[in-house]
Amino acid sequence: MSATPEQIRKRYRELVRRYHPDVNPAPDAKEQFLRIQEAYQVLSDPERRRHYDALLRLQARSASPSAPRQTTQSSSTGRAGPTRQTSQTRPHSTDASAEARRAIYEAERAFLQGRLRDALHWARQATRLQPRHPQGYIIMGDVYRMQGHIDAALNAYTYALQLDPNNADLQRKFERLASMARSAAPPAAPIRRVNLPMLLLPAEWRLYAAQSLGWGTVLFLIALSATVPGEPAALFRWLPMMAAWSLNLLLYMGLAGFLVGFLLSVSRWVAPLEDALPWRRYGARLSLGGMMVLMATICFPLTALLYTLYGLLQGGLNPSVSRTFSVVGVLTLLFGLAYPHDTLHTLLFGGNLLFLTHMAGWYLGDNFQRG
């Protein structure tokens, strides 16, 4: 719990190199690798890590025996009058406290797993059982903040600060959210944005809507290459393979490759770029990822073929890199069939541009998730 982000990142890279299915022939290597990926996703996010630490503390607390209940049972051997009153009042409060701890535990676990609705349900139940406990209000504020309901999040944080005014982390979150609310420009007309149907959807549905819009834009760019291809640019006549290409085609392919790389990264269909395709230099040699990027700028189909042969000889292919080559290959095929002026050269060399812009979108998607 005291490890720094740099220590976690360093340990994650060590474990990935050890348990990656491409290099570890053990039968449980794939399961270990998936657990390592899931753990890093939690610990690399400061908010999810804070909730995970709170979950561990709740587990340790619930594992210890309940002191008030034992005191009540031992007092039953004393005088009859006071003992009967204690047995009627204390077990009830002890049960309510235990239920509240369980509700907070479930809320923390649901928030950690991204189930925002369940987290909000359990947090509300915890505040009903123990209205003076700040943790339920903190979880409610975190859920509202992730859903984009800033006013509701500020409300919940305000209640929590009244109950726990010395919580420095909560104070920082409240001030950061309040400054965001103040910096937002007020609308020209009184618009109740909370009532918009889009905001009432769960967070994962809004993500699906954004992904659908992105993939629709990619298909629209492919359609534009067929309907508005543009005239071949005189700038490329000194290159035989690009002599019939237009500036429109370059723009369409560049935008499509960038969008696809960004969407795959944000959707977590590919691993982080630095783990799936490392391109740092080791000693005097260029890494495999760097060689692949360099070769793809010259001839993408040949690079895809060589990588497939290399993976088969090594006993397996990297899933993220395989998806990248597959998606870029499909995009190249679609643009080649759609562009009317030069199908052959688009099929042979269009993947060069698509692959490079795909890498740029992948890199930006990784940085977007870290931010």
pLDDT value at residue 184:
56
**Which strand (E) or helix (H) includes residue 109?**
helix 80-112
pTM above 0.85, yes or no: no
- Chain centre to alpha carbon of residue 29: 23
CA distances from 221 to 35, 166, 208 (A): 38, 54, 20
Gap between the Cα atoms of 119 and 108, Å rounded: 7
Gap between the Cα atoms of 255 and 251, Å rounded: 6
Query: Are 358 and 277 within 8 A, CB to CB?
Result: no
pLDDT value at residue 105:
85
Report which of 245, 266, 275, 232 is spatially closest to residue 335, judged by C-alpha positions.
245
The residue ranges of the chain whose pLDDT is under 70 are: 58-94, 113-114, 183-207, 234-241, 275-289, 311, 314-317, 370-371
Which residues is 246 bridged to in the sheet? 232
CA distances from 136 to 46, 100, 126, 129, 327 (A): 19, 9, 6, 10, 44
Gap between the Cα atoms of 344 and 347, Å rounded: 5
In angstroms and rounded to an integer, the radius of gyration of the C-alpha atoms of the chain is 28
DSSP 186: P
pLDDT value at residue 254:
92
**Number of neighbouring beta carbons within 10 Å of residue 227:** 8
pLDDT value at residue 194:
46
Task: Write out the E strands in 19-169.
Answer: none
Gap between the Cα atoms of 358 and 255, Å rounded: 9
Task: Provide the sign of the torsion angle of the four alpha carbons 118, 119, 125, 128, taken in this order.
Answer: negative
Phi, psi of 246 (to 5 degrees): -110, 165
Gap between the Cα atoms of 360 and 355, Å rounded: 9
Query: Are 256 and 218 within 8 A, CB to CB?
Result: yes
Query: Are 295 and 302 within 8 A, CB to CB?
Result: yes
Burial class (CB in 10 A: 0-12, 13-18, 19+), 348: middle
Residue 250, amino acid: L
